[in-house]
Structure 1
Amino acid sequence: MSLQTELDAFKSAWTSRVGDDIASLVENDNATLQDLAARAVGEGATFPALTLPNHKGGVTDLAAVMAESALIVTFYRGGWCPYCNLELRAYQALLPEISARGARLVAVSPETPDHTLTTAEKNALAFDVLSDTDGRLADALGIRYELSASIKALYQKFGHDLPVHNGDGRWSLPVPATYVVGKGGRILRAHVSPDYRTRLEPAAALAALAAPATFAA
């Protein structure tokens, strides 16, 4: 079963549970993010070489990683997002194949390190989960946005206190995005989704590692 099939099944069940009014609110809000996704950093650009805290209590130096290997970077909204958890588990299932191709995989979210640890543990993730708590990486890629008043109210109703959960006092998130980065830092594949219920298939990210430029420094 593809990841998108799983996401669509969850979306259908969620819509039935919450009703058409809330589902329409989310649809309309997602539509406002189209321009942001279109302006985001894309293929051919250099991926930002930042160092971020990881869920293990250390740091991951992306510059050092990209100097040695190709890299898949996937941004998720938070461990509170069921769509994100489905995606993370799908990437975990492909981790042996990603590693066999000599590449690294990391996930990034605005969650604090304590929360990324929880996310990693509940999904049994064996790759680094990084905290972009101040949004530097998301901002450098142009994928962070401030939540609308209507979505903020909805998330408060659902108990998602993002300013506390993310530790930055802001109601902001990255749109889900996946980057396949060649050795040396050039972005080979970029998928930025204004609709958080739609993600790049992990198999497509894996396939992008076969590009001739993947391991050319």
Structure 2
Amino acid sequence: MSLQAKLDAFKADFEAGKPPYSVPRSVIDVMHRATEELVESGAAQRSKKAGDVAPSFSLSDAEGNIVNSADLLKRGPLVLSFYRGVWCPYCNIELQALEAAKPEFDKYGASLVAISPQTAPNSRKSVRQNELSFAILSDVKGKVGEAFGLRFRLPDYLIELYKQLKNDLPAFNDDPSWTLPMPARYVIGQDGVILYSEVNPDYTRRPESEDMIPVVQQAAAVRA
């Protein structure tokens, strides 16, 4: 089953209120409204695209080790995923798909890392829960997401809903700003130029991991 098929199946069950989910239709409607407004805002079109130089970063992984993008690019191409956090089931499904594709990235000498604004303990939970073998990095205060043009503030009405649902983003992220990155995938060449980008303000839509493999293969051929 494709990644998007899995996401669609989860969304259908969630919105139908199938166990273990029991969410009122009013909650679903608020989430739809927020997504539609973010799509219509054009925020995704203002993010970094293929052909742009990728912002460099130096972030801590789940164990507190510093991971530097320049060091990763010395080894080969970089596959980079921005996600919302371990609290987001769509993100967890995506992380599992990336883990399944990792042997193909490894074959071409590409590094795979994922970035979220969550704290290190929550990143460790991401690793455990999804059985990941690649680094999960903590983007403190969302600065790297901001540099890529992905960071946005939740609308006030969605913040109120999250509070009602006990989805405490300030605690998850150790940041009072109520901001998140739009989910995004990048392949970055060793010269730092973005070769592939996919940014979607609809968090229920994610690209297939396989879509990046030809780009990684081509980047590896240039490297050779």
5 Å matches for 1:15-164? 15-17=15-17, 18-34=23-39, 35-164=42-171
**1:134 is paired with a residue of what secondary structure?**
helix
CA contact 2:76–2:223 (8 Å) conserved in 1: no
Task: Please say which of residues 44-53 and 14-23 is displaced more in the overlay.
Answer: 14-23
Q: How far is 1:215 from its partner? A: 4.1
CA contact 1:188–1:208 (8 Å) conserved in 2: yes
Indicate the RMSD between aligned Cα atoms, in angstroms: 1.5
Q: How far is 1:195 from its partner? A: 0.3
TM-score by length of 2: 0.92
CA contact 1:70–1:214 (8 Å) conserved in 2: no
Q: 2-side partners of 1:124 and 1:149: how far apart?
A: 35
Number of residue pairs aligned between Structure 1 and Structure 2? 217
- Which amino acid is 2:198 matched to? H
What is the aligned partner in structure 1 of residue 20 from structure 2? none
Task: Please say which of residues 186-195 and 10-19 is displaced more in the overlay.
Answer: 10-19
- Which amino acid is 2:13 matched to? A
Which consecutive residues of structure 2, in runs of 5 or more, have no partner in the other structure? 18-22
CA contact 1:182–1:215 (8 Å) conserved in 2: no
Q: 1-side partners of 2:70 and 2:219: how far apart?
A: 21
Q: 1-side partners of 2:176 and 2:109: how far apart?
A: 38
Pick one of 168, 172, 177 that aligns with 1:165. Answer: 172
- Spell out structure 1 runs of 4+ moving beyond 6 A: none
Q: 2-side partners of 1:88 and 1:212: how far apart?
A: 22
Q: How far is 1:22 from its partner? A: 2.4
Which consecutive residues of structure 1, in runs of 5 or more, have no partner in the other structure? none
Deviations 1:30-50 (CA, angstroms, capped at 9, x unpaired)? 122221101111010111111
What is the aligned partner in structure 1 of residue 14 from structure 2? 14
Q: How far is 1:3 from its partner? A: 0.3
Q: Does residue 199 of structure 2 align to residue 198 of structure 1?
A: no
Q: How far is 1:206 from its partner? A: 2.0
**1:32 is paired with a residue of what secondary structure?**
helix
CA contact 1:188–1:214 (8 Å) conserved in 2: no
Percent of pairs identical after alignment? 37
Q: 1-side partners of 2:28 and 2:154: how far apart?
A: 16
